[in-house]
Amino acid sequence: MAQIKVEALDKSFGAFHAVKSASFTVENGQFLCLLGPSGCGKTTTLRMIAGLELPTAGTIRLDGEDVTMNRASARDIAFVFQLFALYPHMNVRRNIGFPLKCEGMGAAERNRRVVEAARILRISHLLDRSVSGLAGGDRQRVALGRAIVRKPKCFLMDEPLGALDTEMREAMIHELRSLHDRLGATTVYVTHDQLEAMAMADRIAVMNNGVVEQVASPRDIYDRPASLFVADFIGSPPMNFLPFRGGLQTGAEAIRLGERDVAIPAAREAMAESELVLGVRPEHIRFTDRGMVRGEVYGTEYLGTTQIVTVATSYGALKARSPSSRSFRTGETVGLDFRPDTLSIFDKASGRAIRTALHEGVVHG
């Protein structure tokens, strides 16, 4: 098992700059998710770690060793593909044993390892089947088997659950995570699905337009987004943004929003008068008659235990999460209050989150 250190990684395809100076570290045994919308460079980053693409600049270290330009086969890593990439002309046993055969391992030892991998993944009964007849989940298990059989330094997975249906995906999320806990293997996992990332990852690296926006634990990513993009991408529905103009003194505990003062976590940096954005998670909005922001109920989405209420305000449509017991009429005027200790403030121009007490771990959302 190994630590993966990615430093200032750059990749251009002709004029297209796919990855821009990406840096992060995956500690030994850690499960890191690369999360972002399609085209954000997460798969390219993963493929560079695997050695399937060579970076334009930057270094990749495996356990301190610079492997940036090494051949894929010389890196001792395993890769799980979204489309499984099982060799159709081989049965399950030969597919799982293939990496060992490439290494030149003898048949007896190879078979022992294959049987062991199959047992871990509970696919022993499928070993002599042809891969073309297998269901999606089983195919994915075979692909995982091919990855774990070699006991590599780390696992790289490119949306391995993307081709499965929802039900199978849920089951595989738990299986993957418990497999990781059992093997303790360093894993980098690419996904565009925030629920997958939240459920499995020790740490999440959110990418956008080739840039790593934030690397943090799922909780920090959600509660303390480092940028407007992260705040918008994570959470369903996403964070509400209320644009306003103002400045901040270090230590300020309120901002001026329209006619009212809104309490915020104490600012830890000063900000000159500029365009700012106040970020509020839907679950941090309360309905009160004397709310700071007033608006009209536009519609509701019923989600079982909660409902999402869309309120048209002078700051645009805000979405609030409310217990589903409460009933709203469309067109009804309501007042909204924000939980002060959970608010984020962003600089609109750069998208960067402004440092406040929120970032010190003092406050929890």
Is 83 one of the binding residues for other proteins (CB under 8 A)?
A: yes
Whose Cβ is closer to other proteins: residue 79's or residue 229's? Answer: 79
Taking CB under 8 A as the binding criterion, the range among 72-80, 241-249, 260-268, 354-362 that sits at the site for other proteins is 72-80
Whose Cβ is closer to other proteins: residue 149's or residue 354's? Answer: 149
Taking CB under 8 A as the binding criterion, the range among 57-65, 98-106, 107-115, 179-187 that sits at the site for other proteins is 98-106
The site for other proteins, by CB under 8 A, has a size of 25
Whose Cβ is closer to other proteins: residue 191's or residue 214's? Answer: 191
Alpha-carbon span 150 to 156, nearest angstrom: 13
What token pair was written down for 219? 């909780």
Question: Cβ distance 248 to 345 under 8 Å?
Answer: yes
Question: Cβ distance 266 to 254 under 8 Å?
Answer: no
Residue of the chain from 1, 85, 211, 252 that contacts other proteins (CB under 8 A) = 85
From residue 170 to residue 199, the character string flagging contacts with other proteins as x (rule: CB under 8 A) and all else as - is ------------------------------
Residue of the chain from 31, 33, 46, 79 that contacts other proteins (CB under 8 A) = 79
Is 81 one of the binding residues for other proteins (CB under 8 A)?
A: yes
| Closest distance of CB 255 from other proteins, Å | 50
Is 118 one of the binding residues for other proteins (CB under 8 A)?
A: no
Residues 11-50 that bind other proteins (CB under 8 A): 50
| Closest distance of CB 100 from other proteins, Å | 9
Is 52 one of the binding residues for other proteins (CB under 8 A)?
A: yes
Strands 306-313 and 271-280: unpaired
- Give the count of beta carbons closer than 10 Å to the beta carbon of residue 364: 10
Whose Cβ is closer to other proteins: residue 46's or residue 311's? Answer: 46
Taking CB under 8 A as the binding criterion, the range among 27-35, 87-95, 115-123, 233-241 that sits at the site for other proteins is 87-95
Is 132 one of the binding residues for other proteins (CB under 8 A)?
A: yes
Is 78 one of the binding residues for other proteins (CB under 8 A)?
A: yes
Kindly tell me the sign of the dihedral angle through the C-alpha atoms of 63, 69, 70, 76.
positive
Question: Cβ distance 318 to 257 under 8 Å?
Answer: no
Taking CB under 8 A as the binding criterion, the range among 3-11, 79-87, 120-128, 209-217 that sits at the site for other proteins is 79-87
Dihedral pair phi/psi, residue 278, rounded to 5°: -95, 130
| Closest distance of CB 132 from other proteins, Å | 7
Is 88 one of the binding residues for other proteins (CB under 8 A)?
A: yes
Is 98 one of the binding residues for other proteins (CB under 8 A)?
A: yes
Residue of the chain from 113, 146, 180, 284 that contacts other proteins (CB under 8 A) = 146
Whose Cβ is closer to other proteins: residue 53's or residue 213's? Answer: 53
Dihedral pair phi/psi, residue 341, rounded to 5°: -75, -5
Contact residues: other proteins, CB under 8 A: 50-52, 71-73, 75, 77-79, 81-85, 87-89, 98-99, 102-103, 132, 146, 150
